[in-house]
Amino acid sequence: MHIHILGICGTFMGSLAQLAKTLGHEVSGSDTNIYPPMSVQLKQSKVNLTDGYSDLSQFTPTPDIVVIGNALSRGNPAVEYVLTNNLKYTSGPQWLHDHVLQDKWTLAVAGTHGKTSTSSMLAWILEYAEMKPGFLIGGIPNNFNVSARIGGSKFFVVEADEYDTAFFDKRSKFVHYSPQTTILNNLEFDHADIFKDIADIQVQFHNLIRTVPNTGLLITPSDDLNLSEVIDQGCWSNLEYIGKGEDWDLEFIDKGSSTFSILYKGEIKGSVSWTQTGNHNARNGLAAIAAANHIGIEPELACKALCSFLGVKRRMEKIFEVDGITIYDDFAHHPTAISATLEGARSNVGTEKIVAIIEPRSNTMKIGIHKNEIIEAIKLADEVLWYEPEEVSWSIQDTSNQSATKIHIFDDIDQLILRTLKSISGSTHIIIMSNGSFQGFHIKLIDEIKKNLVI
């Protein structure tokens, strides 16, 4: 089968392309953002790429099916060609369900925060237990160095995103996955470009719950009111709760959260000592252990697996270190995620200086939905450098005036780099937070530091 993918360089669609190649399909595709690392992965997989959507020769020869990414809408020339010429088309999540997940035991990880990390932890636990899982994750786990693979067993781990499916299917992606094991990590308001309020998102999460069989399992925290309200609307599956006094709990052995014990029904079942930081990652790990337990992996073995978990690219990933200067790349783009990242960093580095560099790139952040939560989120940083692009529709300066944390605002990348260099003093931890490429800021900053240090 010849599959043509529109929007092929996104993490989800690019991973889908690689799964399709593994299954023996001919794969081609197009995008407007053809750049590494996804472009490199696709070319290595011998996927034929077209730059942009205006070149309609990409549909010659006519593909057997066109998979359309959710970033494309009516008016796009490639989309209009598909509709006008009555080509067979589908969405990425639907194709995944029909051609990959149909005969699998799917373990899905949903929630506003922690999906990528938790999915990566779960996939690694299964791998460590020699279950040879398949997976599709919205990032690259360092234990695998790929974002997707078919695997060699019936088990498949999928990051279950609540974003919409396609221009013709406004349900969340995760309703297509039919999971037997489901983690609901947390639920907050996000994606203001497609959801009008938290109730709107809760509808989609309940749609996911409706797809889990009565023999399946839902794993959820006991202290998340938004998720509790969803479950109260109706649940037909087994439920296990994470939290103090619940089915699953953890006890920290050190304040840095790098060592903790796992409890099931009040009994210690194992302990984890790892390089990850923050209470949020410990809770992610606990959820992954609970999910693995559902398919027969003992908690003690799962704990041993997490001791060798290497993290995920762009999730508090250390990308540079020299002479007391450490730079991390992090995907945080929501106040809760920013706060969790800084809490983990602070617990790890103590009183050493933390400089947070933030790009408000998500649609929710650009329109200021969470502007009143920012001050609290950044309080553990010693200094915050904000990049303020033109499309931000609220005043970061007005918000910064209320902050006890020192904040500097820039609309120029070069000026931002110069200020970052001035912020370095003694042992300094620079955390770059963005869910995009940040105009290559990471590489430019490292190059400037190398020039200044003559290394």
Output the six-digit token pair for 13. Answer: 């669609």
What is residue 102's DSSP assignment? T
Structural domain ending residue among the three candidates 42, 73, 92: 92
| First CA to last CA distance, the chain | 51
SS3 142: coil
pLDDT of residue 41: 78
pLDDT of residue 388: 81
Give the long-range contacts of residues 29-37, CB within 8 A, separation 24 or more. Answer: 29/4, 29/5, 30/4, 30/5, 30/6, 30/55, 30/58, 30/78, 31/6, 31/7, 33/9, 34/9, 35/9, 35/437, 37/140
pLDDT of residue 455: 44
How many independent structural domains does the chain possess? 3
What is residue 54's DSSP assignment? S
Domain contains 140 = yes
pLDDT of residue 402 exceeding 50, the answer is yes
For residues 109 and 243, membership in a common domain is answered with yes
For residues 242 and 282, membership in a common domain is answered with yes
Domain contains 98 = no
Rounded average pLDDT over 176-193 = 91
Sorted by sequence, the CB contacts under 8 Å of residue 282 that are 6+ apart come out as 250, 252, 257, 260, 272, 276
Sorted by sequence, the CB contacts under 8 Å of residue 38 that are 6+ apart come out as 9, 10, 11, 14
For residues 158 and 241, membership in a common domain is answered with yes
Q: Which residue has the higher pLDDT, 34 or 442?
A: 442
Q: The domain containing residue 43 runs over which residues?
A: 2-92
pLDDT of residue 195 exceeding 90, the answer is no
Output the six-digit token pair for 27. Answer: 């794969």
Structural domain ending residue among the three candidates 92, 119, 147: 92
> How far is residue 184's CA from residue 207's CA, in Å, rounded to a whole number?
13
pLDDT of residue 21 exceeding 50, the answer is yes
- Where b means 16+ CB within 10 Å and e means fewer, 167-195 reads bebebbbbbbbbbbbbbbbbbbbbbbebb
For residues 271 and 350, membership in a common domain is answered with no
Domain contains 164 = yes
Look up the CATH number of the domain holding residue 181.
3.40.1190.10
- Tens of pLDDT, residue by residue over 339-394, are 888 988 898 889 999 999 988 876 666 656 666 778 888 889 999 998 887 767 66
For residues 245 and 331, membership in a common domain is answered with no
Q: Which residue has the higher pLDDT, 422 or 401?
A: 422
For residues 136 and 280, membership in a common domain is answered with yes
Domain contains 312 = no
- Tens of pLDDT, residue by residue over 79-101, are 999 999 999 999 999 999 999 99
Look up the CATH number of the domain holding residue 385.
3.90.190.20
For residues 220 and 335, membership in a common domain is answered with no
Look up the CATH number of the domain holding residue 38.
3.40.50.720
- Tens of pLDDT, residue by residue over 213-239, are 999 999 999 999 999 999 999 999 999
For residues 294 and 358, membership in a common domain is answered with no
> How far is residue 269's CA from residue 301's CA, in Å, rounded to a whole number?
9
Structural domain ending residue among the three candidates 66, 92, 118: 92
For residues 255 and 284, membership in a common domain is answered with yes
| Strand partners of residue 273 | 259
